[in-house]
Chain A
């Protein structure tokens, strides 16, 4: 890694000053650095974006390995621990003193005699130590092979371990959030893939061909963006057949989001193509006898690839939020599918919020995800044109 990065910081000075460095015989790395390398060097300077990138990678990794990471199954009910608050991890105990291995106390339910509300108290007499790679409930990893190893858990399968509390059916919220991440996070990416295809195709055609095609595409975009999104989403999702399976609904919604969401990207692509077509180097290629296809492939696509990445990064959170919003309203994904939006359905009424505030945890995850995507997009945007 170190050899690829210019050791003398001097080489990067022109990023700030917009100046051309004069040729210095050493430091080849800088002179032969491709656009992506220059972008990477510039991106690395953006500390917040770097951190956001790391957080997002962790999130997506956890979505990928959610079965293994979560201590319980998302649909398993622990009927004696309904609406249990989050437990705290302990390292110290009066009886046994300090222990490096964390443990949780058992919980005891008590009904308040005046309000009839159930409350849970830690029962310090019973401790459950937390172990790594323990046997737990059986699951199929990626639907491929059966296993029952979980990253962490207690040795006793029926012991309460609810680090984020449980919902009103006694399901472990932490596990549900981890599983929900898989749906919500993948939804953002899948949605954007289809959007990307539509946006690139329609925006590219619109920009490169111009004329009637351009007018038609542009007017459709105008039409699409003046319809308020939430009602449009609602109408389209309501139109999905009720008897579809969860997976079908999921893909149906991806399509709905792409149909509405491609407009922004198409505009960016079209604008970029229009300006690139006027660039001197495109004209030079034309005069060199390059065919249209070659110009698109060699000059136009590499030039706006970076901008496309930025636009995509900045529109993933919108898709995630959209899915969440619809599921929250009950017209998107529905239980038993677990997504962050579905989880938030449980916290729709004030009473829940007042008595079981931990049910709001999925909202925090959504906020963090959206923020991280925005930070990442910011950093990418700054790095997108390393030649400025």
Chain B
């Protein structure tokens, strides 16, 4: 066997010690303890966020991708409990920087609040959720700036104006004094990005930021996020269910299924050499030019509910290659199949068939 048996606690080769890594999540778990049992929304996720790169997290609804992003900011709704390690290089990821474990911080403490908005900022699917309807856009952007960058109100306003202009907001001076409901959908999204970027975060988490937008406006916002990433050298965590957007935005991709990362690799490998049956099926189920007039490959059945799950591979019940006694015997580890390519499947090595585009 050529498979390198992974270290169960840290399956990924890269680590926070590497120069270009600014955040590493190890065995991240978010469990909700409910009356009915334990809901494992996120169940052992490992992630690496590199400086200036975009990590795409893709998966279907209920796979835990949003909860993962909430866990990174420690804003998981109650009664969720975060376990594992989230190692963040503070103070800009210099080599001498101090490494903090966000899981160990108090959920409402000063330090985590400092990280939120300061080091890590987030944009949401629904901008109206991020804005308070009773304050102007300007007030809300300035609040972030006053907290993290300057104490001077005049200067904060200047910075706010600059940020709004930098996200391509037309007429920023006027917008600063407008209320969120006065803006159109695309403009609100821009305003939210401006608010997130106002404090110069090192990491920008974008949770389905374009799902509610029209295609033409989505194109604007995606272009904007990419431009800003280049300009500010920000790392981006991009969460979406749309593989098209993933192809467009990401450098590396984590495919999630049922609270676990099932495949983790660079974007080109994901689309041209996927190894996990779920990834393959997902890619083949997208309607596109190549499979026109043919039947789409769909995944039978539905995603199981992440509560009281049996041992073994989460995809077992729907996988065409599943083998009883093998796949459902024990939990499957994330296995390294190549440099920078990890798959949570026992048969990953045997399958070399490509997915989309081959």
Contact = CB atoms under 8 A, between A and B. Distances in A.
Contacts of B308: 10
Contact of A17 (B39, B302, B304): B39
A279 B90 CA distance: 51
Nearest to A10: B36
Contact of A13 (B62, B304, B305): B305
A8 to B, nearest CB: 8
Contacts of B302: 22-23
A147 B305 CA distance: 63
B35 interface: yes
Interface string A12-24: 1100110101110
A13 B37 contact: yes
A17 B36 CA distance: 11
B34 A16 contact: yes
Q: Specify which of B35, B305, B307 lies most central, judged by the most chain A CB atoms within 10 Å of its CB.
A: B305
B243 interface: no
A10 B36 CA distance: 5
Contacts of A17: 34, 39
A13 B303 contact: no
Given A10-B308, A13-B34, A16-B34, A22 B39 contact: no
A247 interface: no
B32 to A, nearest CB: 8
Contacts of B39: 13, 17
A23 B303 CA distance: 10
A226 interface: no
A9 interface: yes
A371 B52 CA distance: 61
A19 B305 CA distance: 9
Given A17-B39, A19-B62, A10 B307 contact: yes
Contact of A9 (B37, B303, B304, B305): B37
Contacts of A23: 302
A17 B38 CA distance: 13
A252 to B, nearest CB: 50
A21 B37 CA distance: 14
Interface in B270-309: 302-305, 307-308
A22 B36 contact: no
Contacts of B34: 13, 16-17
Contacts of A21: 305
A221 to B, nearest CB: 30
Contacts of B37: 9-10, 13
Contacts of B303: 22
A12 B305 contact: no
Nearest to A15: B36
B38 to A, nearest CB: 11
Interface in A83-111: none
Contacts of A13: 34, 36-37, 39, 305, 307
A381 to B, nearest CB: 21
Nearest to B305: A22
A17 B302 CA distance: 18
A23 B304 CA distance: 9
Nearest to B32: A17
B241 to A, nearest CB: 16
B36 A12 contact: yes
Given A21-B305, A22-B303, A23-B302, A9 B36 contact: yes
Contacts of A19: 62, 305
Nearest to A16: B34
A13 B306 CA distance: 11
B35 A9 contact: yes
B34 to A, nearest CB: 6
A146 to B, nearest CB: 55
Contacts of B36: 9-10, 12-13, 16
Interface in B307-344: 307-308
A22 B35 contact: no
A17 B305 CA distance: 12
A332 B34 CA distance: 52
A292 to B, nearest CB: 36
Nearest to B61: A19
Interface in A1-45: 9-10, 12-13, 16-17, 19, 21-23
A109 B304 CA distance: 78
Interface in A363-382: none
Contacts of B307: 10, 13
Interface string B243-285: 0000000000000000000000000000000000000000000
A21 B39 CA distance: 13
Contacts of B305: 10, 13, 19, 21-22
Contacts of A10: 36-37, 305, 307-308
Contacts of A9: 35-37
A303 to B, nearest CB: 27
Interface in A289-330: none
B53 to A, nearest CB: 33
Contacts of B35: 9, 16
A22 B302 CA distance: 7
A9 B302 CA distance: 21
Contacts of B62: 19
A41 to B, nearest CB: 12
A377 to B, nearest CB: 24
A23 B39 CA distance: 17
A12 B303 CA distance: 18
Interface string B144-182: 000000000000000000000000000000000000000
Contacts of B304: 22
B339 to A, nearest CB: 37
A73 to B, nearest CB: 51
A46 to B, nearest CB: 14
A13 B308 CA distance: 12
A323 to B, nearest CB: 41
A325 B268 CA distance: 78
8 contacts: A9-B36, A10-B307, A10-B308, A13-B37, A13-B307, A19-B62, A22-B303, A23-B302
**What are the 10 A-B residue pairs with the smallest beta carbon separation, nearest first?**
A9-B36, A13-B36, A22-B302, A22-B305, A10-B36, A21-B305, A22-B304, A10-B307, A10-B308, A10-B37
Given A10-B308, A16-B34, 20 more contacts: A9-B35, A9-B36, A9-B37, A10-B36, A10-B305, A10-B307, A12-B36, A13-B36, A13-B39, A13-B305, A13-B307, A16-B35, A17-B34, A19-B62, A19-B305, A21-B305, A22-B303, A22-B304, A22-B305, A23-B302
